[in-house]
Structure 1
Amino acid sequence: HWRLDVTFSEDASRIRKGNGPAMMTSIRHLCINLFEREGSKLTLPKKQNKAAWDDAYRAKVLFD
């Protein structure tokens, strides 16, 4: 839970109704697992930032 809160600011999320919170938690877990599977030594926040700005890196994270 700590990693989700620190990396994705999960506690500050305003998604509160229906299936939204559970779905977003699943998506965040998936993202963490994909970033961990990627082999570089960058920290998780740096991987997030790089994936947001670099299409080739994002494709590498998603499809390799």
Structure 2
Amino acid sequence: MAHLLIKFGGGLITKKDKMMSVNNEAINNLAKTTSILLAKNHHVTIVHGAGSFGHLKAKKW
């Protein structure tokens, strides 16, 4: 059993070129992979980036 910290990068889980848009396909793939790790009794902590929810707004400034 391992303790894993996984970052779902904002550029991966969102569509960076469109404001506040989610990349559902990428999130579904990450969820499937994470469920495999959990089934193997690994402890998983997930963190994420801002992606299009933060980068495009920050670009204005």
TM-score bin (small chain):
0.3 to 0.5
Report the TM-score when normalising by structure 2: 0.39
Whichever structure has more helix as a proportion of its residues is 1
Q: Over alpha carbons, which structure has the higher Rg? A: 2
